[in-house]
Amino acid sequence: MNIIDIDFEKGIVQSDFKTWTIVSNDNNQYLLLQREENGRYHVAEADVMKKHLWEVKEINYRDPEGGTFVFDEDSGITHIA
């Protein structure tokens, strides 16, 4: 999906068809995103420079401090230090 707009202050990313919440931001280069739809969570990883995001089922993301994240469709993203 293409990124149409990013509002870093509000923590929102607008893609072609969906609005996402920024969960983690790696120096405005890579983003971990989440949205809820019909009681299920969806997660995406985004490349800001390429203005593209990929919806994924498993997370392969580390924040700038080295923390990791896990994802569950029922509860969303959880940050593990």
| Average pLDDT score over residue span 7-24 | 97
Q: Are 67 and 26 in contact (CB under 8 A)?
A: no
> HSE-up of 25 (CA within 13 Å, CB side)?
15
pLDDT in tens, 21-36: 999 999 999 999 999 9
Examine the pLDDT at 81 and tell me if it is beyond 90.
no
The alpha carbon dihedral of 38, 69, 58, 44 has a sign of positive
Apex 53 CA angle, 62 and 12, nearest 5: 80
Q: Is the pLDDT of residue 39 over 80?
A: yes
pLDDT band at 44 (very low <50, low <70, confident <90, very high): very high
Residue appearing with tokens 């068809």:
17
Residue 19 pLDDT class (50, 70, 90 cuts): very high
Where are the chain's structural domains?
A: 3-80
Query: CA nearest 63: which of 29, 36, 33, 25?
Result: 25
